[in-house]
Amino acid sequence: MTLKVTMKMLTLTAFAYVLSGVSGPVIESVFVKEGDAVTLNTNHELSQQDRVKWYFNDVLITQIQGDVSQICTDVQCYESNEKFRDRLILNHQTGSLTIMNTRNTDAGNYRLMINNRDKIFNLVITSRDSGVDTDMSVTEGDAVTLHTDVKIKQQDRVKFFYNRIRIAQISGDFICTDVQCNKGTEGFTNRLMLDNQTGSLTIMNINTADSGEYKLEFLRGSSSSEKNFNITVIGVSDAEREEKKSVMEGTSVTLNASVIKNPHDVITWTFNDILIADISGDQSQICTDVQCKERFTDRLELDQQTGSLIITNTRSTDAGVYKLQIIRSRSKVRRRRSISVTSIWSFNVSVIDSGLSAGALSGILVAAFFLLVAAVFTITVIFKTCKTQAQNDNGL
């Protein structure tokens, strides 16, 4: 009885561990001016057993395999890496990668793998004379807002350009976006929104083809101003955007926010479109309404450092869609936003019935323990009785 229960508990634990899933790699954006050197840091001290590999756009460019002497870079790893020749330096103590004399062609995704743990660095190269006010790397599917930081008046004129082509405009009562402003902008059709109060432009469901330079021209009377934005869009698969999680009832599950959290990020979690947790700056809240409190009853935990959500002692009613929304801003002037990005990630959580409630399992284990103790006690008494009887028989 005890062995069967123990084996079932071990099986359930292992099954829950397998089903818990592994979240996608963390993505970090790194900006560098063309010609400068840049270091992609591992924040890790290597041991003799560590294996480090760096990939650029999925092509191996450098690695450390055990002994320090077994280090290869650029064409030593792969013949097609000619463009990196003599410009890569690998730190054999940390595994960090330095790219010397950066070029425009070095921009892209660098994937770090240390012992099967991975992280992605999105490297953005900016021109020294580009006149760009704000650089930002965003994820495919995000909503990106280019802010004017003003409240427009009737006589104001606002224009937005993408790679020198006008894509949006407000001039008095005249408002246009995409093909309404200019032919050849069909790629933005039904994805541009102009705020008629501020003139700010939002690009919905941004994709990799939207990467490039955006320019804002603002005219009020005889004064004018400009803002330049450089946006790089990182491609993301549907599987990375929507993650599926399975968990055994009664165990815990962590929904990971696979980003590097910034101090001013605004993070919200919803369950089936109901707000359940949020972080704004250094303040956080969990279950502020009665419906949430009744459903989760102190079973939610929020990681203040990463924004990840932990559900403890899961129940069948916890199954459903959890959405993580992150609003991130980048600015050149304090208290004023240049770009804000809204990212939404989904987690489809299913809870598997263990067949027994946590209380029932606990009861069985307790009962089994006492049965085992009783059995041991009984065997001990019988053994001592038999031994005494044998000694008496021998004495006779």
DSSP state of 297: T
Confidence of residue 78 (pLDDT cuts 50, 70, 90): low
Is residue 4 situated within a structural domain? yes
Residues spanned by the domain of 112: 35-126
Looking at the DSSP bridge assignments, the partners of residue 119 are: 26, 112
Is residue 29 situated within a structural domain? no
- Computed over every residue of the chain, the mean pLDDT equals 79
Same domain, 138 and 219: yes
- pLDDT tens, residue by residue, 153-204: 888 999 999 988 999 999 988 889 988 888 777 888 889 999 989 999 999 9
Is residue 308 situated within a structural domain? yes
Report CA torsion sign: 193, 194, 195, 199. Answer: positive
Mean pLDDT in residue range 60-74: 68
Same domain, 84 and 113: yes
CATH number at residue 327: 2.60.40.10
Is residue 291 situated within a structural domain? yes
Same domain, 90 and 10: no
Is residue 177 situated within a structural domain? yes
Same domain, 250 and 346: yes
State yes or no: pLDDT of 349 exceeds 70. yes
Confidence of residue 241 (pLDDT cuts 50, 70, 90): confident
Same domain, 270 and 350: yes
Is residue 364 situated within a structural domain? no
Instruction: Evaluate whether 87 touches 74 at the Cβ level (below 8 Å).
Output: yes
Same domain, 159 and 203: yes
- pLDDT tens, residue by residue, 4-34: 433 333 333 333 333 344 455 677 878 887 7
Q: Which of 85-89, 128-132, 204-208, 223-227 has the lowest mean pLDDT?
A: 128-132
Q: How many helices (H) and strands (E) are present in the chain, helices listed first?
A: 4, 27
Query: At 124, is the secondary structure helix, strand, or coil?
Result: strand
More confident residue, 257 or 252: 252
Is residue 40 situated within a structural domain? yes
Which of these three, 126, 155, 187, is where a domain ends?
126
* Nearest alpha carbon to residue 91 among 121, 119, 54: 54
Q: Which of 15-24, 139-148, 308-317, 379-388 has the lowest mean pLDDT?
A: 15-24
CB neighbours of residue 305 within 10 Å: 7
Same domain, 59 and 44: yes
Query: At 290, is the secondary structure helix, strand, or coil?
Result: helix
Q: How far apart are the first and last CA of the chain?
A: 42
Same domain, 216 and 120: no
Query: At 303, is the secondary structure helix, strand, or coil?
Result: coil
More confident residue, 98 or 71: 98
Strand 157-162 to 253-255 pairing: unpaired
Domain count, the chain: 3
State yes or no: pLDDT of 260 exceeds 90. no
Is residue 378 situated within a structural domain? no
